[in-house]
Structure 1
Amino acid sequence: FTAHDSPNLMREVGRLREIAFRHYGGGTGLEADIDKYDLMEHPYHQLIVWDPEKEEILGGYRFIMGKKVDFDEKGKPMLATAHLLNFSDDFLQNYLPYTVELGRSFVSLEYQSTLHSRKGIFALDNLWDGLGALTVIDPSMRYFFGKVTMYGTYNKEARNMILYFMHLHFPDPDKLVTPISQLVTNTDTGKMKHLFKGKNFKEDYKVLNREVRSFGLNIPPLINAYMGLSPTMRFFGTSINDEFGDVEESGILIEINQILEEKKQRHIESYIKSNPSKRFLIGLRRAISGKSKNLIKKSKNKK
């Protein structure tokens, strides 16, 4: 759905997003996290996980198909990441038209607590089912593009390790996308080279996980999940988002065909098997193109 289709639902999603992000030091500082990208003429779509039993929203993403992105008078794409990242001509011409841009991933705060952590994991899993559905609805989409967030309260040494690891194992040699203002980390590269050899992802990941845990922390769940999604993911560097509580945001790109087979089976193939009807898919395509009103991803009845 979009804010134009369902303004009341958009207000509730914005309220829940703001609560979830503000808890960790992000957010807009307003009553609801709703911005111009939710409200513009050709806005981002909202994908939510809905609990039909409790009639509650468990989490959500927002997304836009790259081929539908408008450009401003300066020729800059009207993307939520445009104030953080520079896009190369190569990216704009050869990647963006085949890309889904994702953002504002959240799990409602209530389901992030220890008491409901299992349901929170299911909410994130269901969100990824929804992303898998997008690749079926529009097979021309080849890439997921977006950003992952780290909050200012996160230990800086642990953060530096994670960012170094991401640059090491998920490089962007073509400079498709670069930060407008690269985060300065003062990373001890000598120490990092000693910790991470760069030859074996699994071994380096074990080291990263051990070192981050030594600070009493975990690798942020979404970053951890993306690391395990595709070995060819590209990491574009990190900027400070001064419009969203000064959180640190890093751009990433995932080629859908390069997603690990077990993840494809879980989030893409399972959707195809459960929704084989061509008529059903046509209806969803119309929803995303604005020809019908709603696309709501219902959560599976998992317990």
Structure 2
Amino acid sequence: MREIGRLRELTFRAVGEGTGKRRDLDHFDWYYRHLILWDEKELEIAGAYRFVDAGRIVGEKGSDGLYSGSLFKLDSRQSYFLREGLELGRSFVQQRYWGRRSLDYLWYGIGAFLAKNPHYRYLFGPVSISNAMPQLAKELLIYFYKLYFTGPGDSPCSRNPFSFSVPLATLAQEFTGRDYQADFRKLKSLLDNLGTAVPPLYKQYTESRRRFSYERVAAVRMNAAVAPLLPIPTLT
């Protein structure tokens, strides 16, 4: 666990999300499970994903026992996916393994776990946005996902809502709101002009046509986070 914390800190620090400590660990780590991507040749951890049976934890500790519960106000309106959901988060891939399909391999592992545990119907959990990303870029990214993937009325409220500095009407002028593919290309172009890009996990969810359920955004440790809800029957 200490090695996971060390590598997580080094990886997150490289993209502006580090804690500044020697290891990035929290109290959730000790009762969550960890999926590890292992390099058999180098005998080291290439990456990892943290996950937990949400229904079990809520039953034992309440919604505050979930990492998502520290970011979002979870209540009975979300019981349908908490009861049958698997919370994912804190994923990382060491820099030396970037560009080698490492994230795909982690998802293969998640898929294998789900195949052996078919009672889970939903995947959910926070996905962060680095504070190293320019403020305008963050606002464009968040606006885009709110535009196309806003969830139903039972979406949980953020404990620390994100504040836009640019008028929403100004951001709206950048997108049609009618053509997802065209608007996604526009988003990538706008972010490229700002010297940044759509974070890998956002690409993974959208390019695979995952459905983001929550419109709420939380500011956490100088970063922003949104929570995707993925119905497992759509995972192919």
Q: TM-score, normalised by structure 1?
A: 0.73
Which one-letter code corresponds to 1:107 in the other structure?
A: V
Match of 1:233 among 208, 212, 215: 212
**Where does structure 1 differ by over 3 angstroms across 4 or more consecutive aligned residues?**
70-73
Partner-residue secondary structure (3-state), 2:35: strand
Query: How much does 1:187 deviate?
Result: 3.0
Match of 1:250 among 226, 232, 236: 226
Query: How much does 1:95 deviate?
Result: 1.2
Which one-letter code corresponds to 1:51 in the other structure?
A: D
- Structure 2 residue 12 is the aligned partner of structure 1 residue 27: no
Match of 2:131 in 1: 152
Which one-letter code corresponds to 2:198 in the other structure?
A: I
In structure 1, what is the Cα distance between the partners aligned to 2:132 and 2:64? 31
Q: Any conservation in 2 of the 1:98–1:140 contact (CA below 8 Å)? A: yes
Partner-residue secondary structure (3-state), 2:217: strand
Query: Is there any run of 5+ residues in structure 1 with no aligned partner, and where?
Result: 1-9, 112-116, 265-303
Pair 77,138 (structure 1): closer, same or farther in 2 beyond 3 Å:
farther
Match of 1:184 among 153, 163, 176: 163
Match of 1:131 in 2: 110
Please give the per-residue CA displacement for 1:18-55, whole angstroms capped at 9, x wherever unaligned: 1111222223332212211112xxx1000011111111
- Structure 2 residue 2 is the aligned partner of structure 1 residue 11: yes
Match of 2:57 in 1: 69
Pair 250,233 (structure 1): closer, same or farther in 2 beyond 3 Å:
closer
Query: How much does 1:71 deviate?
Result: 5.1
Query: How much does 1:62 deviate?
Result: 0.5
Q: Any conservation in 2 of the 1:239–1:249 contact (CA below 8 Å)? A: yes
In structure 2, what is the Cα distance between the partners aligned to 1:174 and 1:18? 36
Partner-residue secondary structure (3-state), 2:99: helix
Pair 251,187 (structure 1): closer, same or farther in 2 beyond 3 Å:
farther
Q: Any conservation in 2 of the 1:148–1:251 contact (CA below 8 Å)? A: yes
Match of 1:81 among 60, 68, 73: 68
Q: TM-score, normalised by structure 2?
A: 0.93
Match of 1:46 among 34, 47, 50: 34
Which one-letter code corresponds to 2:54 in the other structure?
A: G
Partner-residue secondary structure (3-state), 1:149: strand
Alignment identity in percent?
Answer: 30
Pair 38,175 (structure 1): closer, same or farther in 2 beyond 3 Å:
same
Partner-residue secondary structure (3-state), 1:47: strand
Match of 1:95 in 2: 81
In structure 2, what is the Cα distance between the partners aligned to 1:35 and 1:88? 23
Pair 28,215 (structure 1): closer, same or farther in 2 beyond 3 Å:
closer
Match of 2:141 in 1: 162
Larger Rg: 1
Partner-residue secondary structure (3-state), 2:194: coil
Pair 81,118 (structure 1): closer, same or farther in 2 beyond 3 Å:
same
The range that moved more, 125-134 or 76-85, is 76-85
Please give the per-residue CA displacement for 1:110-143, whole angstroms capped at 9, x wherever unaligned: 33xxxxx432xx1111011111112211111111
Pair 33,71 (structure 1): closer, same or farther in 2 beyond 3 Å:
farther
Q: Any conservation in 1 of the 2:127–2:226 contact (CA below 8 Å)? A: yes
Q: Any conservation in 2 of the 1:179–1:236 contact (CA below 8 Å)? A: no
Cα RMSD between the aligned structures? 1.8
Q: Number of residues paired by the alignment?
A: 236
In structure 1, what is the Cα distance between the partners aligned to 2:159 and 2:67? 14
